[in-house]
Amino acid sequence: MQNFDPNKSLIFIHVPKSGGRSVAEVAKAWFPGQFRPHYYNEQAAQMPPRHDLRALEAAGTPPVIYGHFNKLRGFGVEQYYPDVDQFMTVLRDPLELMISNYFYVRKVAAGWQDQSRVPRGDLKDSIARDPVNMLNHFPRDVTLENYKDIIETYFVEVGLTEFLPESLRRMAEKTGKSFDPNSLEHRNATERDETVPDDIRDVFREAHPLEYAVYDYVRQRYESAGR
């Protein structure tokens, strides 16, 4: 992966339901005065604001743009900040991501303008039908042929929810910051009232080879370090 350049803008991609609200508090502490949220306002149906990155860089405060970058909804990286070339993110097991998102959206979406995104069926139906909301946030299109190059070329670090303290330790090391694991708070968790049969997990993995290729590639970096 690439080295961090503190003189350039950094985009920290918050993949939904990957621990991003907890990580945001850490990122705010790392980059005071530079942190800029990038979120679609679901209640008002408003797109995220655009920032003048060149002006901020010229002023000596290169921004850290933190949030969701869903290109399928019009606020992706290339749609907003196509010239940015350094990124960080935290990923999660794609099935766990789907499950967490299902319960979260059902809980909070009553006031959303766009009700088409609210799951209509039960959890099993949602897992079988809905796409994984993960790689559509990446800075460039990802395929089975290029995913390793995308990760190694564009990212300063990619973390995992399953290894979150170690992920943040690596990010801190890359960016010249410090990280105290005791400062990490667990935010935005949603109670679950349905379970997933074990056989669904194998079927889901087979149905989403690209998402799991990306996830497994990152995961092996953490598992191999612990051996």
pLDDT digits (tens, 9 = 90+) for 62-80: 999 999 999 999 999 999 9
Nearest in space to 90 (alpha carbons), one of 178, 24, 18, 176: 18
Nearest in space to 204 (alpha carbons), one of 142, 126, 117: 126
Asked whether residue 145 is assigned to any structural domain, the reply reads: yes
With bands split at pLDDT 50, 70 and 90, how would you rate the model's confidence at 43?
Answer: confident
Contacts of 16 (CB under 8 A, 6+ apart): 68, 97, 101, 104, 133, 137
Q: How many domains does the chain have?
A: 1
With bands split at pLDDT 50, 70 and 90, how would you rate the model's confidence at 226?
Answer: low
CATH label of the domain that carries residue 219: 3.40.50.300
pLDDT at 191: 61
Asked whether residue 149 is assigned to any structural domain, the reply reads: yes
Q: Is 90 exceeded by the pLDDT of residue 48?
A: yes
Domain membership of residue 137 as a residue range: 10-225
Asked whether residue 101 is assigned to any structural domain, the reply reads: yes
- What is the chain's mean pLDDT, rounded? 91
pLDDT at 183: 79
pLDDT at 20: 87
pLDDT digits (tens, 9 = 90+) for 149-187: 999 999 999 999 999 999 999 999 999 999 998 878 765
pLDDT at 192: 58
Asked whether residue 4 is assigned to any structural domain, the reply reads: no
pLDDT digits (tens, 9 = 90+) for 79-120: 999 999 999 999 999 999 999 888 887 777 777 767 667 667
pLDDT at 128: 86
Contacts of 141 (CB under 8 A, 6+ apart): none
Alpha-carbon gap, residue 63 to 10, rounded angstroms: 6
Asked whether residue 1 is assigned to any structural domain, the reply reads: no
What's this model's pTM, rounded to 2 decimal places? 0.90
Using a pLDDT cut of 70, give the percent of the chain over it.
92
